[in-house]
Structure 1
Amino acid sequence: MIELLLVGIGTGNREHLTLQAIRALNSADLILIPRKGADKADLADLRRSICTEVVTNPAARIVEFDLPRRDQSNPDYRGGVDDWHDAIADVWSNTIRSELSGSGTVAFLVWGDPTLYDSTLRIASRLNPAPSVRVIPGITSIQALTASHAIPLNEIGAPFLVTTGRRLRDAGWPAGADTLVVMLDGDCAFQHVDPADVTIWWGAYVGMPQQITLAGPLAETGPRILKARAEARENNGWIMDVYLLRRKSADGEQR
């Protein structure tokens, strides 16, 4: 029987690892590190450095594999994602079978938390043979973002909504919440929001040494974010960012 540990590792700061995460990594027979190509080599490097720093179990083996790329040209977004996840699951299954003889514990380091806007659990459900799965929660980019700006996530007694850039662009500002957290936004969907009375708190590489944060009224700060984001992506070859939008509530206050 294979046990799969999905270990949340935070957003790039080694100090984000919990004691539970460190214990889990040291209990593994096999630790898998995905490679996402030369333009995202930093991500594999960081996983390696985390293992070097916290894994003291000499029996734990670290194995790297190349992650299949998603076909961005597929007009069927959901179908393309499903095909991509199937391909990743095949690579995982083949790697585990080749490295473990029938049983053992496998650990996979997951950015942020495996349960929030992350597909690792869905991919794990496609593995053959099916493993038992244990999730070790991690610090999310949302927590890192609000901490970096020293702001509360929610207004007093008010709800907030976590959504994606695609949904914000296609469906507009959701009803019922004056605070939005936007993740997985490769196209800066805040450009499609009426900026009147809206404040944005944005962060890229939050928790990492190259962290960038900007905040202010959306009308003024949006163009600054676009410029900073383009420059950061050019310099690093990749970018991971997240932002919070807050508009004045019905009583005209923005807490």
Structure 2
Amino acid sequence: MGRIHSIETLGLVDGPGIRFVAFFQGCGLRCSYCHNPDTWDINKGMEITAEELLKKAVRYKAYFQRSGGGVTCSGGEPLLQPEFLAEFLRLCKENGIHTAIDTAGFGKGSYDSILKYTDLVILDIKHINSAGYRELTGRDMGELESFAMCLKKSGTKLWLRHVVIPGITDSEEHIRSMKKVMMEFDNVGNIELLPYHILGANKYEAMGIPYKLKGVAPMCKDRTKELENILKGQKESDNETGTLSHCYH
């Protein structure tokens, strides 16, 4: 038995193709920029069995498989419900469904039993050093490092993501250091930088939770793309000398 926050049947940014996305309830991190604080409490959400969740996914199987899609377990943090997650992924594989988990790598339990049934891991790397990680998430990096070790041993295909926040993770020095960290992983099929946004800020006020990044402007999408080009070893979009984009002019 597990707890699900919500379900999206036409996910387009949660892995290859069209995805059936199950957002798991519960998260152990308290990221400053989290846009879904309503997923934090693991005791909330809809209680459901792995079999029941599979039945919901199978209804859309013919549709999402035509696009090369499948099922993505997101959150919250799906790794916080390891037994339920592993069982659901196993059932998906038995039914010929492509599986992905969208995770920050901060969970509990045996990761091997989860990765055994996972075709793709979409890993959100919050920060590259202990001080920065704790500042952004309120937690230590130990659990992420444990997951990363299991991930490297598993050989599971991997997409890497990182949120770029003005004044925090948007320097070229930070991005070049991030590149070194990402190069330590094998089987990386995609790397993406995501611009920080404030779309979930109103939830904090409604829930009576202080928003840690109040006053920080959304990250410029053009500058984010320039930094992504640096991360991927390409030239910056303006010129070879690294002139800043028009966002900062």
- TM (norm. structure 2) is 0.30
TM-score by length of 1: 0.29
**Larger CA Rg, structure 1 vs 2:** 1
